Amino acid sequence: METTWPFVYNFPMSYEGKAKIMKDGPKEGTLVMLFKDDVTAGNGKKKAVIKGKGKINKAITLKLLKLLHDNGVPTHLIEDIDDRSILVKRLKIFPLEVVVRNIATGSIVRRLGLEKGMVFKRPLFELFFKNDDLHDPMICQEHAFMMDLIYPDDLLIVRNLSMRANEILKQYFDSIGFDLVDIKFEFGVDENEEIYLADEISPDTMRLWEKGTMTSFDKDVFREDKGDLLTTYTEVAKRMGLKIEGI
Ligand code: 5GP
């Protein structure tokens, strides 16, 4: 296999995203991930600032990344910094969004006409091309290889890690009264070409339903104007045993 990196993405420098800011960390090879209070949906078309959301998502992400690490999934988490930030490894991020689905809803229902709430016999693994201009289109693995977004061997690893992470999180959320409906993961490699799970893991990046119902405890509350996002996220944090000051 070639040793050069296949696509144009390089180690990211500081940048501000829709819900987070990535800044250079104190040591080489590190980044500070700062969680903002901004929430967006529909590729930025719908926006709001929800005071306290950043703190909650930071606390949830920290706990879930630790849970995955403790269960054998390598993640980019290095350490906690403060109530809004964590220190993470600087990675070259594959320009892919990996979605694992346990129950049908969202884009797969619109795309395939499935019944919302249908429970899949086994988790479904999907790939999307991370590209705002194209609205993150769904792709198949052949497209990913054709565009040199990822090597086949690396995609196998990413698939296995995604399935394992989904299983760990599904069990965890089940134990606190939620069905993990679907979840988006991102992955990257460090300077040694080791693969790590990256990004945040929060109700912004997954769907949680009250167990046995279709009641949302995630960003769909904002996307579909179904209630108060802060109250919803606070309840998730509470069931996770998190105490967040000022919330
Ligand atoms: P869907 O494809 O049904 O819209 O989304 C599937 C899952 O991936 C949902 O849990 C959704 O929150 C997450 N997801 C998909 N795309 C994005 C994205 O661009 N940003 C975030 N935060 N989550 C996403």
pLDDT tens string 115-126: 999 999 999 999
**Cα-based distances in Å from 115 to 42, 182, 184:** 22, 15, 21
- Angle 53-70/152-175 helices, nearest 10 degrees? 110
Ligand 1 centroid to residue 4 C-alpha, Å: 30
* 142-161 per-position pLDDT tens digit: 999 999 999 999 999 999 99
* Tokens coding 245: 């000051």
Which amino acid, 217? F
pTM: predicted TM-score of the whole model, two decimal places: 0.95
Give 185 Cα–ligand 1 centroid separation in angstroms.
9
Residue 33 · residue 22 · CB < 8 Å? yes
Beta bridge partners of 206: 183
Quote the ligand 1 centre to 165 CA distance (angstroms).
16
H or E segment to which residue 125 belongs: strand 119-129
pLDDT band at 130 (very low <50, low <70, confident <90, very high): very high
Ligand 1 site, CB within 6 A: 97, 99, 106-108, 136, 182-184, 204-207, 219
Q: pLDDT tens, 14-27?
A: 788 899 999 999 99
Q: What is the Rg, in whole angstroms, of the alpha carbon atoms belonging to the chain?
A: 17
CA 207/CA 218 separation, integer angstroms = 5
Find the 205 Cα to ligand 1 centroid distance in Å.
Answer: 6
Ligand 1 atom with minimal separation from the 206 CA: 10
Q: Please, which pLDDT band fits residue 128 given cuts at 50, 70 and 90? A: very high
